[in-house]
Homo-oligomer: A and B are copies of this chain.
């Protein structure tokens, strides 16, 4: 009998990202026992659509259900903190969407609470789990890569290009005081720290809101779904206080330099995270719109191009690949791979072992960096992270 058999999962929040969690969970033969939503009606509707056995009347009910071992938090950003805190207090392991919280102080509270409660805590920095990103980490840490010198990249989308594009993330109260940086920039920052193993020492940022006024539709809009609106809708003017775009410079602890742009207004870029990491001997680069390819740059011999292939990869890369070479894995697969490591860790039941997945601590570091980015943008100066 498989070790995963008895894990039972509850999911709160069934917008864009909740169903992606559910697919991943199910692929491993782990049961999604029940879900919770803003209202009991919505929970029942989503449970019906997604074939979930239980629709809880509210989140609190889910937390009281002893059948639930793990809670996946997929709600809007401002709910992550209270919901994660409640879950930990209820003795549940937690997989939380990013950002972990709105402030780093909240994040620190969660880190400490999880530690006290001895509960497994994961944050869904899922992009690490494209197999070639594990492979990139393996390569960057080998001697023949050399010291990391430069970390470059961008995370670009176009779904908020027009002043008529709307989503709850544009609302300061629901999304927090950073938007592009928090929603997608945080993925890039986490990913390059994961791959290089380097800490960010200080940041300099220039954030820009191209549309200080946007037009909000009167009815509710799910993330990404705005682009498929076809019927005429009513709008109201809304002041926007979060950034559409950011330029961010980094100085890493080892002296390496970083440069990163993040945008939700780059026409034609649907969801493109790009990085290039330049070492003293070699380089790697990756583009999330072609996620099975890894470019490896060399000075003295031909560059290399890895098409994801377990037979050509290290044990680390293999461990997060499910399909043979040339069989493309995609965005949904990253959820499965992250969860697989989290669940295996829970079942192993030895929490003295360093987790091999992103934890609340990563979420906390991420928020510290984001707060420094915001401060830098406001003060036009370099801001240290750990002060």
Chain A residues in contact with chain B, CB under 8 A? 1-2, 4-5, 16, 20, 23, 26-30, 48-52, 149-150, 152, 154, 156-159, 161-162, 204, 206, 208, 210, 223-224, 227-228, 245, 247, 249, 251, 255, 257-259, 261, 263, 265-272, 276, 278-283, 288-293, 295-307, 309-312, 322-333, 380-382
The answer to whether B311 touches A302 (Cβ under 8 A) is no
Residues of B contacting A5 with CB < 8 Å? 51
Beta-carbon contact of A149 and B325 below 8 Å: no
- Give which listed residue, B48, B282, B380, contacts A268 with CB less than 8 A: B282
Q: Are B270 and A324 within 8 A (Cβ)?
A: yes
**A49 and B290 form a contact (CB under 8 A):** no
11 CB < 8 A contacts A-B: A204-B206, A204-B249, A206-B257, A223-B324, A224-B325, A268-B299, A270-B325, A289-B292, A304-B304, A305-B305, A332-B333
| Of the residues B50, B208, B310, B326, contact of A269 by C-beta under 8 Å | B326
- In the complex, what residues of B have CB within 8 A of residue A161's CB? 280-281, 299
Q: Which of B29, B263, B278, B279 contacts A150 (CB under 8 A)?
A: B263
Contact of A302 among B26, B159, B204, B312 (CB under 8 A): B312
Would you call A271 and B324 a contact (CB within 8 A)? yes
Is the CB–CB distance between A289 and B245 below 8 Å?
no
Number of copies: 4
Query: In the complex, are the beta carbons of B162 and A272 less than 8 A apart?
Result: no
Interface centre among A2, A283, A289, A324 (most CB of B within 10 A): A324
Closest 10 CB pairs of A and B: A268-B297, A29-B51, A270-B326, A271-B326, A330-B330, A270-B325, A227-B311, A224-B324, A328-B330, A302-B304
A303-B307, A307-B270 given; A297·B247 CB < 8 A = no
A306 touches B303 (CB 8 A): yes
Closest to A31 in B: B51
Q: A359 CB to closest chain B CB, in angstroms?
A: 24
Question: CA–CA, A50 to B272, complex, Å?
Answer: 33
Q: Which residue of B lies closest to A19 (CB)?
A: B322
**Structural contact, A276 and B270, CB atoms closer than 8 A:** no
B297 touches A228 (CB 8 A): no
B298 touches A268 (CB 8 A): yes
With contacts A204-B206, A280-B161, A326-B157 taken as known, whether A49 is within 8 angstroms of B150 at the C-beta atoms is no
Closest to A154 in B: B152
Task: Give min CB distance, A47 to chain B, whole Å.
Answer: 8
What is the bound-complex CA distance between A33 and B161, given in angstroms? 47
